[in-house]
């Protein structure tokens, strides 16, 4: 009989896989309508970063193959979501998404992993990767208005309405 740890691990993987699949209906709508409408790309960019961190953590932490595999699956899905967004987004949103994805999903994780690999030993690397997972994707998701203004100088959606942030305006970076 499988141990309780294995059973809960598999249940966790099933749940995580379903979470990664949850935007599928939205992206089916985007493909069907050939438009991203008023959808934002930042949740998918942050979710991809999240998946990267979990994959890295699962690779460097012993006995964590389930963590790496389910999040590898999630990374593939999130990459496809971002690519679909890039395919059907209007030009300004497409440029913004490409820049943010390049910074948050390519440059930042590559630099962070390089620093961890070069300067931290095994246990410290595992702790740092876990800490990065806990802090970084949520910070970026909460600061999406700040990132948009950094990229294109605006703080409004394509239709001209203002973005809502998860962080109160008084607490946001200027």
Domain ranges of the chain: 4-171
pLDDT at 91: 94
Other Cβ atoms within 10 Å of 64 Cβ, number: 16
What tokens does 70 get? Answer: 């389910």
Cα dist from 122 to 45, 65, 125, 128, 129, whole Å: 28, 17, 5, 10, 11
Name the nearest CA neighbour of 46 among 147, 124, 117, 152.
Answer: 147
Name the nearest CA neighbour of 126 among 111, 113, 137.
Answer: 113
- pLDDT, one tens digit for every residue, the chain (174 residues): 678 988 888 899 999 999 999 999 999 999 999 999 888 898 899 899 989 989 999 999 998 888 999 999 999 999 999 999 999 999 999 999 999 999 989 999 999 999 999 999 999 999 998 887 777 666 665 655 555 555 555 544 444 444 443 333 334 333
| pTM of the predicted protein model | 0.77
């Amino acid at each position: 009989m499988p141990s309780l740890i294995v059973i809960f691990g598999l249940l966790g993987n099933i749940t995580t896989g379903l979470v990664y699949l949850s935007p599928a209906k939205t992206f089916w709508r985007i493909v069907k309508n050939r438009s991203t409408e008023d959808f934002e790309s930042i949740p998918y960019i942050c979710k991809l970063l999240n998946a990267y961190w979990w994959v890295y953590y699962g690779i460097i932490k012993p006995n964590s193959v389930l963590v790496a595999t389910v999040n590898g699956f999630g990374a593939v899905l999130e990459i496809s979501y971002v690519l679909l967004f890039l395919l059907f987004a209007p030009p300004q949103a497409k440029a913004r998404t490409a820049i943010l994805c390049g910074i948050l999903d390519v440059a930042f994780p590559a630099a962070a992993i390089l620093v961890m690999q070069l300067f931290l030993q095994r246990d410290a690397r595992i702790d740092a990767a876990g800490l990065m997972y806990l802090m970084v994707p949520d910070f970026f998701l909460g600061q999406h208005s700040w990132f948009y203004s950094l990229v294109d100088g605006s703080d409004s959606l394509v239709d001209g309405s203002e973005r809502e942030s998860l962080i109160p305006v008084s607490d946001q970076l200027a």
